[in-house]
Amino acid sequence: MHSQRTQNRVISSAQLESYETNGYLHVEPFIDAATLADLQAAAAEFVEISRQMVESDKILDLEPGHSAAAPRIRRLNSPVDHHEVFRRFALEGAASELACALLGGPVRYHHSKLNYKWSDGGEEVKWHQDIQFWPHTDFSPLTIGVYLDDVDSSMGPMGVFPGSHTGRLYDQYESSGNWAGSMRSDDVASLDLDQVVWLTGCAGSATVHNCCMIHGSVPNDSKKPRPLLLQTYSRADSYPIANIGANGVTGVMSGTVVGGTSEQTVTIDGRHIVGAPDWSRSGAPTIFGSQHNKG
Ligand SMILES: O=C(O)CCC(=O)C(=O)O
């Protein structure tokens, strides 16, 4: 495992070690100018589409105050499903290569999003951990973000608490029982905000955070949007657990294995299962079909 890791050309062994210890990484530079230009052009296409819209739909989440003349987009949901450039980048390109390098082999794509965080007050993302939104059979899932513009501290960069990925997993419900999607205020009050690392960086640089990392970002009070393209992967032998959170509704490409193949194995409570093939797209055969048609 280790020799395979040190051979990878995408990140150094020091970067890999830093990710594993701290639960986050900032890779700068990450993508080349041509890839960045393609991603920026694809992101701009959705800004043009949004000019025809007066309210959010399943693809584009608009901020209050959005108009044709002055678009304000909060998020493009599942860019991988809506533009070939985003699909290629996440499933064949640099993002998937970085995920494979960090996780040490083939990886399973889970979901993607593009947070535009518009200028002049684009919304904050409160402190939260991701794993509660889409639990998996292990804690390998990580999210790779790529800034599509230069991001300084006035633009609401991603903030992380180094090392928090190995700590407590917080209850992200309100005390009323409603899902909040963020930590409770008394839990936030217990954090030492001096520990936050704000990941400012140039266009085309990448952020990485583990699914248990406490992270968030403040409003964007600058004059420019802060587009951050995010894509999430797990190890190939890690699986989203159905019927909890967003699992099952993360887009048609969710579950795609990149950088190799899946052996369909999973270890639970120390017991190793060699599972059946993935029938989520084709539909499951009956046990009779499987037992009588073996090759
Ligand atoms: O856009 C950001 O600053 C943070 C994104 C994030 O944590 C999320 O969308 O879950």
Atom 1 in ligand 1: residue holding the nearest Cα: 115
Residues with CB under 6 A from ligand 1: 115, 117, 125, 158, 215, 217, 228
* Inter-CA distances, 73 with 51, 52, 58, 60, 154, Å: 10, 12, 13, 7, 18
* pLDDT 10s digits, 266-285: 999 999 999 999 999 999 99
φ, ψ at 197 (rounded to 5°) = -105, 120
Ligand 1 centroid–CA 133 distance in Å is 12
Nearest atom (ligand 1) to Cα of 228: 1
Share of the chain above pLDDT 90, in %: 93
* pLDDT 10s digits, 111-155: 999 999 999 998 899 999 999 999 999 999 999 999 999 999 999
Q: Which two tokens stand for residue 164?
A: 């928090």
Which top CATH class is 2-256?
A: mainly beta
Cα–Cα distance for residue pair 184/39, rounded to 1 Å = 35
For residue 167, which amino acid is it? G
User: What's this model's pTM, rounded to 2 decimal places?
Assistant: 0.95
Nearest atom (ligand 1) to Cα of 217: 3
* pLDDT 10s digits, 222-258: 999 999 999 999 999 999 999 999 999 999 999 999 9
